[in-house]
Structure 1
Amino acid sequence: MRVLFILLTFLAFLDAKVVTTSTTKQTQGEGYGSTYEQAIGKALADAISRMYGGTLSQSTNFKTHSKKDKNGQNLEKTYNGEIRRVTKGNFDSYEVISKTQTDNGFNVKVIIKKTTTTKKYQTPGLSADNRRSIVVFDSTPDPIKRGIGASLQQKIISDLLQSRKFNVLDRDSNGYYEMEKAIIKSSDTASDEIYKLKNVLATDYILLFSISGLDGKQKTSNLTGKTKTEVEVVIDYRVLLFATRQIKFSNTLSMKVNLKDNSLSANESVLKQIANRISGDILNAIYPLKVASVENNEVVFSQSLNQGDTYECFSLGKVIKDAYTKENTARVETKTGNIEITRTSPKLSYAKIIEGSVKVGDICRPLNSGNNGNGYTIGRDANYKIEQGGGVNLGF
């Protein structure tokens, strides 16, 4: 409850709001003339030509209908209009910063200005700028299997969200967005609500999965007479880089699971296991699990993991280059120990050190994930490398 309270207090400072920003663009010019009016005109022409690369001649005629007042000529309103006309709205006002009268006339220095005010909707919560974006699609061709795929898709999305490593984008609820857009554009909505539009993120990656095989068999025990169902599932999945349409990661999950009964909860549990394997495979390839802290001989990770899972951890050494492409392939790894997840929360996981000495910055991978009895094999083409500074270069 204390953690929840702190989180809600923090989020209170991250409310959505419309931020107003004003910026002023300006440039300076100088002009000489036999009259004050002529000097200003040449100074304005000089300022504009400086901004536009000398395309405006100092002989440009700035039309004026000046009026005399007790302080001399009042040209401001007329010249402001002329500036907007000549610069096509890029500048809209001027200011005389100095004027000197000589025997031959006047020397004037001016600044022309354009002040622009913009408004932008600031989304609530943490900024999306530090995370890559991903979209999850079920590409299963069989309509019967697609019913299972929809549920599996939701569980993969949940896993990726809980990892806090991606902006997971929605592409399945377009009708609801259109309804809300219609409300925003209606006359009943406050004017600033319009800034919530045109903020949609485009994705970096597309995760496609397809259920290519699904088979169930029932077995009856000769001793107990009880029947159990054994399900074998085969799922192909790949990660695409949207900008180039490159396949950056590909794998096939072949997994056998046993159902003690045919209840909904049993089926949900199986789908959760499958989703966890797929999302875990992708996360281990793109973002290898890294030790965030070691406190009182307990290893801490900055994401939610499964209690009871075991990992082997490695320190990172020399960078190895590919002999042909000369690209950084990976870094030499030295095993530092094994750990087991003992407790977990929505944002943190804790592990005990089973053997060895694990330190901050070590990367950890599922222990014996390829031999867990389910026929599961981890990613064949991870295509990532870990940089010397500790970051991950996806090669994407």
Structure 2
Amino acid sequence: FDHERAVLVVGKSASTSKQKQSSSLSLSRQLNQNLISELTQARKFRVLDREYLAELTGEQNVLKSDDVAMEETLRLGQNLGADYLVVGTITDYRIDQKSKEVLGLTTVQHEAALVFDYRVIALATREVMWSGTYNEFFNHRRLRKLVPKNSGDRQVSDAMIAHAAHGVASELLDVIFPIKVLSMNADNEVYLNQGGIRVKEGEIFEIFLPGQKVVDPDTGLAMRLDGARVATIEIISVRAKFSVGRLVDGDPDQIYQHAISRRAGAAVVESMKTDTKAKKKKV
């Protein structure tokens, strides 16, 4: 790559009791490490974490605290030459067990939930590039897809955290290295500037106009909003360095070169499936 951007990853928990703080701090560190691993494998970043910072700066007490002021965290990141800062707060984490009897045999089933907020900040401008919330509930059936049968709490926790880190890392890549429009041909096929493992055939993407920059009244940090959605496309072909999408709806005249394209949310995808089924019934 021509330029390897540095990302500083810092996480914290929102628990109050000492027992919960200890558990959440361990969870925060595990989530950090999984996220660092995912971002490193993308081969687009140099990733700096708390341990690296502590060795380099000697500011052990500051970095061990979960109450680090945003201003101090920004200063540390800038001093280390980081381009971006990823910060987050874990607000809910739980794993529940329940016994179920089937044909005289008692089995233990798990349910789990993980919720955390996170932000991506460009240190040069102190602009919040993206903020999001990971909020997932894993019932027994969903967990069976992640872990083997009769897995313990630790295996469930590890799988849930790995799942969360993969999802958030993919979203961070979409923010820092957003997928953009290269061109559009006369057949309403839209060419995007990324392919490979980041885009899959059948995925739905939305295309947006440039948004405005606003200031968060709570933090004083600038953040850029997406503009109006102008089109929706479905990926029909993926190559190593680009992909091709078919225009599903929207105004082709509003699709311009370098426009931002983001994966559609679950609601949009589900709505499209419903519309497709309805059209088939009419036919």
TM-score using structure 2 length: 0.54
Partner residue of 1:256? 137
Which structure carries more helix by proportion? 2
SS class of match (1:144)? helix
- How far apart, in 1, do the equivalents of 2:55 and 2:165 lie? 26
2:164 is matched with which residue: 247, 262, 274? Answer: 274
- For 1:1-396, list aligned pairs within 5 A: 126-128=1-3, 131-140=4-13, 142-173=21-52, 201-221=80-100, 226-242=107-123, 247=128, 249-258=130-139, 259-260=143-144, 261-263=150-152, 266-290=156-180, 301-302=194-195, 304-305=197-198, 310-314=203-207, 331-339=227-235, 363-369=260-266
1:293·1:300 contact (CA, 8 Å) conserved in 2? no
1:230, CA displacement in angstroms? 1.0
2:195·2:243 contact (CA, 8 Å) conserved in 1? no
Percent identity for Structure 1 against Structure 2: 21
Partner residue of 1:8? none
1:231, CA displacement in angstroms? 0.6
- How far apart, in 2, do the equivalents of 1:153 and 1:370 lie? 29
SS class of match (1:139)? strand
Which of the two has higher C-alpha Rg? 1
SS class of match (2:198)? coil
1:283, CA displacement in angstroms? 3.5
SS class of match (2:161)? helix
1:234·1:253 contact (CA, 8 Å) conserved in 2? yes
Structure with more relative contact order (C-alpha pairs < 8 Å, separation 6 or more) = 2
1:351, CA displacement in angstroms? 7.6
Q: CA RMSD in A?
A: 4.7
CA deviations 1:333-383 (Å, max 9, x no partner) are: 43242237x989xx768688695799985643223346899xxxxxxxxxx
Q: Counterpart of 1:367 in structure 2: which amino acid?
A: A
Which sections of structure 2, spanning at least 5 residues, go unmatched?
Answer: 15-20, 58-78, 145-149, 215-222, 271-283
Residues 212 and 302 of structure 1: CA distance in aligned 2, closer, same or farther (over 3 Å): same
2:94·2:112 contact (CA, 8 Å) conserved in 1? yes
1:206, CA displacement in angstroms? 1.7
1:304·1:349 contact (CA, 8 Å) conserved in 2? no
Which sections of structure 1, spanning at least 5 residues, go unmatched?
Answer: 1-125, 179-199, 374-396
2:99·2:107 contact (CA, 8 Å) conserved in 1? yes
Q: Counterpart of 2:261 in structure 1: which amino acid?
A: C
Residues 160 and 262 of structure 1: CA distance in aligned 2, closer, same or farther (over 3 Å): same
